Structure 1
Amino acid sequence: MLRQPGGTLASTHLTHLRHVDLAVPEHDRQLAFYTDIWGLTRTVGDTGISFLAAQGSPEQFVVRLRKAPEKRLDLLAFGIAAREDVDALAERLAADEVRLVSEPDVLSTPGGGYGFRFFDVDGRTVEVSSNVTPREHRRIEAAESIPVRLSHVVLNSPDIAVTTAWYQQHLGFRLTDTMHSPQDGDLMHFLRINPQHHSLAFSKGPHTSLHHASFELRGLDEYLRASGRAIRSGATKLWGPGRHKAGDNAFTYFLDPHGNTVEYTTEMEQVDEDTWHPHIYDASQADVTDQWGTANPWDEQVAKESINDPDHGCFIAPPL
């Protein structure tokens, strides 16, 4: 257990990011993008709902698509070590007056497991689960340009200091690095729950929304091949290819059919917990956003698309 600012005990047993669930008006169009272009595999589905896996990941699915009248982030899901940790976290969140969406129970999604849902400080639905049956997966081979796994998710928040503190206090996230502007203050906080530089980040924005979801490729060659496939498909390339300084990962950002930003990435930095000290990076320096200097400039259009539409699903639990 780790004592966080404010004196609250936070679990250190969150293990990894499981999946990101999206609601969209045009389910079939979105499904075609994520399978035919992006490289995910539909494993389970019915009319208006699909579970999409990454071939290299033991997770049953890394994206869930649900048909809905308007787009929203349905939920963000994380793994936790054991069933007793699920119960302990639910009990502690309830004691801290965090609004629970559901009590711990057996899950009905692919792979089952045991988990519960709750609202974070901005009203997003979060799921934590354990004992999910691993999916049969395989090694992604050289030159195979499909995602290995879901890498990380970045979320827009009007007050990233408050949101970051909430995730540190209640879920045990650690601050890895900060992106800072001399004019506008902190722009992004990168948070980790394992040695990966970040599984989650919060970006300063005018409203709560999805900033981007990122998918890991096998290596640089596979990342470039995947980026090229998406470009040739006619998908809107937003930014990249390039290499960030925070996380040291390669990036190319695209828009999916509903205007959500999705990223191909690879070679994310791994953190040594015993020696790591958070950096504060100056976002006004060109080599901070792109070390290679190969990406198109970060401009107002890229910023606008990254802000995304306001999420009207805050403090409204998804029906599934």
Structure 2
Amino acid sequence: MKLRSIELVLPHAQQAASFLTDIWGAALAETQKNTYYLRGSGSFPYLVALEQGDKSYVRSVTFVCSEDELAPIKENITAKGLAACPVTSTDLGGGEGILVELSEGQILRFLVGTEEVEPIEGKDLPVKLTHVVFNAEDAEVTGNLVEEVLNFKVSDRTKGMVFVRCNESHHSTAFARAGFCSLNHIAFEMEDLDAVMRGIGRLRDHSMVPAWGPGRHGPGDNVYAYFIAPFGAVVEFSTAVNKVPDDYQVGAPEDWTWPENRIDQWGMSDKDFDGLREAEEQFTFYRDWEAQPLS
């Protein structure tokens, strides 16, 4: 299973697409009516869909998988009584599968039979999404739920987050202990450390400075730089997240502590806690579909 894309609805979608292509570094894949599809250098047809709408919300976060992976998920969802429905994707790449709403409202989409595209050159293009993180009212409960129902695995727990994986990458998502449900941030996987640093420089050329970073996280060991995008969401340059084995020992909060006044391995940058918190509240989830049986 792989994390593929996030689908957002928001006012001023064209301006958001312009920022992500002209400044952030993604490429325009296609425009369909009122939706802009942005891709990276990898084989996914798009990473972010931006649909024009009256308010900002997350339509879905999309994972691509096999029939063998999807079948037990459907059974688990039905047994748990979560709201879900069958879906045929009209987004780039097509595919069929399901939409499911987690107990706090986060909406995930699982697709099989999707199409991929030829990779493209571009050393400053993101390769893919490395993770999409959610805020949660109760991160422990939600982390346990995705283990039980979606067959994801918790990789680590810290004072701030529960990190979850769907493949060998340390985390494809995480649930922040925020006390509310919304989108926390979108992380773009860059080719290497230099691509992350060039990205920081590119945004500085447009008078934008990191809200946090550059730095190196503990869980996942990935390099990061977070920015608050003009359209309201938190976006991250990231690279080199750890690959972990099936028997990876789940870390506890006491395993991830730092010296005083540090919040990452390097300790070289400040964090705009208030600005990030405000931005993390901007995109909630909205279900525009009716629950239906998955059989």
TM-score (normalised: structure 2): 0.90
Change in CA separation of 1:317 and 1:39 when aligned onto 2, cut-off 3 Å? farther
CA contact (8 A) 1:153 1:212 kept: yes
Q: Could you say which residue in structure 2 is the equivalent of 1:226?
A: 199
* Residues in 1 aligned to 2:242 and 2:209: alpha-carbon distance in whole angstroms: 27
Q: Please say if 1:292 is aligned against 2:266.
A: yes
Deviation at 1:301, TM superposition (A): 2.0
- Runs of at least 5 residues in structure 1 that lack an aligned partner in the other structure: 1-14, 181-186
CA contact (8 A) 2:233 2:280 kept: no
Q: Could you say which residue in structure 1 is the equivalent of 2:97?
A: 115
Give the residue type in structure 1 aligned to 2:111: S
Aligned counterparts, 1:110-259, within 5 A: 110-138=92-120, 140=122, 144-180=123-159, 187-259=160-232
Q: Please say if 1:103 is aligned against 2:86.
A: yes
Taking every aligned residue pair, what percent have the same amino acid on both sides? 27
Q: Could you say which residue in structure 1 is the equivalent of 2:293?
A: none
String of CA shifts for 1:211-269, please: whole Å, max 9, x gaps: 10000111111110011101212335211111111111111101112221000011111
Q: Please say if 1:261 is aligned against 2:234.
A: yes
How many residue pairs get aligned? The number is 289
String of CA shifts for 1:8-52, please: whole Å, max 9, x gaps: xxxxxxx11010111111111101011111111121213421111
* Residues in 1 aligned to 2:165 and 2:260: alpha-carbon distance in whole angstroms: 25
Q: Secondary structure at the match of 1:194?
A: coil
- Runs of at least 5 residues in structure 2 that lack an aligned partner in the other structure: 291-295
Give the residue type in structure 1 aligned to 2:114: V
String of CA shifts for 1:67-116, please: whole Å, max 9, x gaps: 1111111111111123x54344324312321111x325x43221222212
Q: Could you say which residue in structure 2 is the equivalent of 1:308?
A: 281
* Residues in 2 aligned to 1:224 and 1:257: alpha-carbon distance in whole angstroms: 20
Deviation at 1:315, TM superposition (A): 4.1
CA contact (8 A) 2:155 2:171 kept: yes
Q: Secondary structure at the match of 1:134?
A: coil
Aligned counterparts, 1:12-91, within 5 A: 15-55=1-41, 57-82=42-67, 85-91=69-75
* Residues in 2 aligned to 1:317 and 1:294: alpha-carbon distance in whole angstroms: 45
CA contact (8 A) 1:122 1:314 kept: no
* Residues in 2 aligned to 1:170 and 1:202: alpha-carbon distance in whole angstroms: 16
CA contact (8 A) 1:103 1:116 kept: yes
* Residues in 2 aligned to 1:244 and 1:123: alpha-carbon distance in whole angstroms: 27
Deviation at 1:139, TM superposition (A): 5.6
Give the residue type in structure 2 aligned to 1:73: V
Change in CA separation of 1:197 and 1:287 when aligned onto 2, cut-off 3 Å? farther
* Residues in 1 aligned to 2:77 and 2:256: alpha-carbon distance in whole angstroms: 35
Aligned-residue Cα RMSD (Å) equals: 2.2
